[in-house]
Amino acid sequence: MSNSSKLLSFSILICASMSSISPALRAEDMQDKKGTYQEQNNQVNLLGIKDSSNILPLQEIEKSLNRSQDRILALPSRLNPSLQTPEPEIIPVQEFISPPKLESVMTDYAVLDSMTTNFQGDDDKIGQVNQIFEPTWKWRFKDGTVISFQTGFNSFKLAGKESIYNVPIQFGVAKRIGPVNLDVRGGIDIFNRVPTTANIEVNANLSVFDGVTLFGFFEQKPYKSNVNTIENQIKIRRFGPNVYWQIDPYTTLFSLYRWGDYSDGNTDQQSFSRLERKWGQFAIAANLFTWFYERESAPNTYFSPRDFLVYTGELSWQGDIFNFLNCRVALNAGEQRGAGNFSPANSYQAKCTAKISPNIEADLGYAHSNVRKPDTGLSSNSESVSGQVRMKF
């Protein structure tokens, strides 16, 4: 074979080799590029820069954190599996700028906002039973004003006495005026065998310092404590301040003072303070209650101690039993003083809140106590069952 033929064969062999190598090189290069793009895409995802429809509102993130604080937040979609979507195309990061969140605008002049129903049954085990059933409807207006209407049916029973039935009718207006939240309510109480009586209640609160809120309270109404107070048409006017102090995220202090003026010429003073500290789902608290009357009321009308004091220590636990059921149990132990004599003051209570639907919640509570009743002054093993149903519209 001539030299020229050998050279030609060698050139053909080199070209064939290059042709076979080029696709492999191109495939490897494309694989590297794909890996680079995939890495960039993962970094984008880890920053949470995806379609804005996949980003949870701040409130939902906070709820998820409250339910599971040990969850690692890498992607917003991990907080809700239903938000997971296929990976988007490779597009420069700057094109994924989330638009500003639009706040919902109320289009109606007024809407039915909520309905709350309170019920309570008290039994002192010595012949007195009170039952309360009071629903309240609230309407919210565009300017934030809330109008409320409350009615219901209440009964007061006492051994040896004819029962008294009551239908309360009350209208209310709640509005923010500058830094003050004001809530004014007024109406009438209709009874089956005593005259109808007017009632009024005013509540106001103001944040005065960081973590400190000051409340003002005034009320004038029939003293619906028991059959005797209603039968004797005792009316009461009370007013005074409350103070709530969030000392730190786990410690709170609440105090109130009330001065009362009764239609029979008597007056009283009450004070209550509670210091509470939380550790996870557990909490301890110290409670102090004092009550002083100017004089004793007429016999068998209402409890009017000249010097009454109760102090207790409290241990409580609150947590989720199921994802829709939250419960709280508490034990109180201490002493009570009446007429200069000390005796044990013990109680226990439990309350559960059930999330029936996204817009409906219900509370049910039970309490047992041997503390002297504020209406009769008798120390007995009294029981109380209470509850509330809340509906948002």
Query: What's the pLDDT score for residue 160?
Result: 87
Q: Where are the alpha helices (DSSP H) in the chain?
A: 3-46, 58-67, 227-231
Least confident among 31-45, 120-134, 262-276, 339-353? 31-45
Instruction: Determine the pLDDT at residue 106.
Output: 66
In contact, 205 and 216? CB cutoff 8 Å: yes
Residue 67 has pLDDT above 60, yes or no: no
- Alpha-carbon dihedral 75, 81, 82, 85, rounded to 10 degrees: 50
Whether 9 has a pLDDT exceeding 90, the answer reads no
Tokens 């039915």 sit on residue:
112
Q: Which pLDDT score, from 0 to 100, does residue 70 have? A: 34
The residue written with tokens 């002054």 in the block is 377
Q: Given a cut of 80, is residue 278 above it in pLDDT?
A: yes
What is the average pLDDT across 77-88?
36
Confidence of residue 358 (pLDDT cuts 50, 70, 90): very high
First to last CA, the chain: 98
Is the model's pLDDT at 86 over the cut of 60?
no
Average pLDDT, the chain: 79
> What is the length of the chain?
393
Instruction: Return d(Cα 235, Cα 244) in angstroms, integer.
Output: 29
Residue range 323-346: average pLDDT? 92
Segments of 146-233 assigned E as strands: 146-150, 154-158, 164-177, 180-191, 197-209, 212-222
pLDDT tens, position by position, 180-202: 999 999 999 999 999 999 999 99
Tell me how far apart the alpha carbons of residues 84 and 247 are, in angstroms, rounded to a whole number. Answer: 41
CA of residue 374 relative to chain centroid, distance? 28
Asked if 168 and 156 touch (Cβ cutoff 8 Å), the reply is: no
β-bridge mates for residue 316, sequence order: 283, 330
- The pLDDT value recorded for residue 306 is 87
Collapsed DSSP state (helix, strand, coil) of residue 124: coil
Q: CB burial class (10 A; 0-12, 13-18, 19+) of residue 28?
A: exposed
Tokens representing 276 are 């509470």
DSSP element (H, E) containing 28: helix 3-46
